[in-house]
A and B are shown apart, each in its own frame.
Chain A
Amino acid sequence: MSVRVGLVSFAHVHSPAYAAVLRDLDAADFVGITDEDTGRGAEAAELFGVRFFDSAGSLFDEVDAVVVCSENKNHARDVIPALQGGVHVLCEKPISTTIEDARAMIEASETSGSQLRTAFPVRYLPSIVRARELVRGGALGRILALNGTNHGQIPGGWFLDPELAGGGAVMDHTVHLADVLRWMLDVDVKSVYAEIDSFFGEGGTDDAAILTLELEGGFVADGAFATIDPSWSRGDGYPTWGDVTLRIAGTSGVLDVDPFAQPLRTFDHETGTPSWSYVGEDMNALMLADFLRGVTEGKPSGASGLDGLRTLEVVLAAYRSGEENEPQVVERTEPRS
């Protein structure tokens, strides 16, 4: 049985990749696309051979689930009516730009009974899954510290608009690794210290940062810590989009995780620019298949709305620390209901 699924907004750069997966997955009956930018939405619908819906409501009437890829600030606007309309939602990360929005989304899920999941595809990369097994199985002894990067290139459009994006690189990239840490180790983030600045792009949006997280609970030694480098420090000359890496130091071993280190290296005679293309598993396909399985079986799978909220709290603490130049306690808010 396939799930009738729609896609809300082509604002996010991940939308085309998600649409391609939804088109190809047997578990998905890709019904259509809605987008407040009707030109963009209609074009995408034609490209992927699905219907364009000129209102979100009309899409919600015909699907069981949607993937929401609007601008970060607009997630709550798009997610809450879907949930209230009985439609399960996979929401692009970060879950929202404010705690209030995230709480309202989680509340809408709980009151409606519709599933709210957060799009954290990195969880599905085989090397990350295997690292989780190794770490939990004691292969490294006690976990002392983790050193992570999620680098990228300067994005365009609304990603550079703090109003719509809620921030820059720290908002965009921190959440992936913050979620991996929480999921891999069952830890909470106690506090965050951050140095944040803007170097690589125009307009002053933050694009360079180092975050240090104090961890507690879970599969780590007392006093364990982690750093995250979410910088958009890769330029056009870089041979690929960026990276996700994680080094894990334990009392009896070290694990270097570099999930995207599965490249074909192409040296193009015309452009003179080398490029790396990734030949590993498609994390988006694995994530979307898991989301649809959860919908089909009525058992939510993957990252929850609360997982989204917890990582947003880390981001917001990092921005406070960047202002104050002091470590900031991560205040864990409870959903309202």
Chain B
Amino acid sequence: MRVGLVGAGFMGGVHLNAYAAIPEVEVVGVADARTEAAVAGAELVGARPYASFEELVAAEDVEVVDVCLPTAFHRDLALRAADEGKHVILEKPIARTIEDAQEILEVFSGDRPRLFVGHVVRFFPEYLGIKEKIDAGDLGTVGVVRTSRRSPFLLGWNDWYADWRVSGGVLLDLVIHDFDFLRWALGEVERVYARGMLGREYNRLDYVLVTLRFESGAIAHVEGHWGYPGPFNYSIEVAGTSALLTVDSTEPSSLELISEASAHSEVPDLASGKSPYVEELRHFVHCIATGEESLVRPHDASEALRISLAATESVLTGKPVTLGGRT
């Protein structure tokens, strides 16, 4: 399957490295407005560099466009790719606003082309394990869930992560992973209350504590930290009536590299033999090839965004936000 990737920044690099491990995928073109980024990205996978999406699709016969652009540009690129009849793999979050997300869903509402959003946490073996245990009833009724996700601040193109209008901050870019996973595992969210840094002048620092109440009754507490001064880490604890389950990325894993570089790692380096990014992208191209339904439906991505935006509203208003009007 021929893939063209647009946006050879941080996540673009992660995806390219993952594609290199998927034999059934050939990345034929990498587009980035920054020539050196396009060239470097293309070199990773033996593709040709391009200056733009238009140049890429004009020159290469790609079936899939993988979009790793800053969030605010997701809508435009997704719509242009759909116009060209290309399947789209879109890095999360699906879009910067719910209106953009709805427009994207609309465009991809038919059988083809298809849309896949990179909610990669669903492909982490430990999160999959949690989901399976919850579904199997091993934990009993889930009462309180605690999650944490703490990341160094990423320096993206034009420092876009630091621009809330483009990135949406830690709520849209980081803990949306946890919102999506929790909604997948526990069902729909009824109410959100959140406190954070929004509206306060902190440069390259965002910290949120979010309380979610699910329709099931479960309560979740989500911590998100952008600008964490240590290495990236995450944890989750699920307290059920039958069992308590915990995962903590800071606990020793099967393979531990201790080095100067490891102190600054920005993505988890798992030793399970299965990279969640490889698993995710392999799953997406498999769904395209077979027509199977994806583990991450477009609707899931827009619902995760809806939770992030509700949390954002709560931070700004100081009030809990009830999620109504689900589509």
Contacts and interface: CB of A to CB of B under 8 A. Distances in A.
Interface in A124-150: 144-145, 147, 149
Interface stretch (A170-178, A179-187, A233-241): A233-241
B195 A233 contact: no
23 contacts: A144-B197, A144-B207, A145-B209, A147-B148, A195-B193, A195-B219, A197-B217, A212-B209, A212-B211, A214-B318, A222-B200, A226-B209, A231-B144, A234-B244, A235-B242, A238-B244, A251-B205, A254-B150, A254-B228, A254-B229, A326-B320, A327-B193, A327-B320
A325 interface: yes
Contacts of A231: 143-144, 239
Nearest to B221: A210
Contacts of A227: 209, 211, 221
B324 to A, nearest CB: 14
Interface in A149-178: 149
Closest CB pairs A-B (n = 5): A199-B143, A233-B239, A225-B195, A208-B143, A210-B211
Interface residues of B, number: 34
Contacts of A207: 143
B259 to A, nearest CB: 22
A226 to B, nearest CB: 8
B241 A199 contact: yes
A212 B143 CA distance: 18
B191 interface: yes
A208 B144 contact: yes
B interface secondary structure, majority: strand
B144 A253 contact: no
Contacts of A147: 148, 209, 223
B244 A235 contact: yes
B48 interface: no
Contacts of A327: 193, 318-320
Interface of B: 141, 143-144, 146, 148, 150, 191, 193, 195, 197, 200, 202, 205, 207, 209, 211, 213, 217, 219, 221, 223, 225, 228-230, 239-244, 318-320
B225 A254 contact: yes
Contacts of B240: 199
Nearest to A231: B144
Contacts of A222: 200
B148 to A, nearest CB: 8
A218 interface: no
Contacts of B243: 235, 237
A200 interface: yes
Nearest to A201: B241
Given A212-B193, A251-B202, A149 B211 contact: no
Nearest to A224: B195
A233 B244 contact: yes
A219 interface: no
A251 B239 CA distance: 31
A193 interface: yes
Nearest to B200: A223
Nearest to A151: B239
Contact of A229 (B141, B146, B200, B213): B146
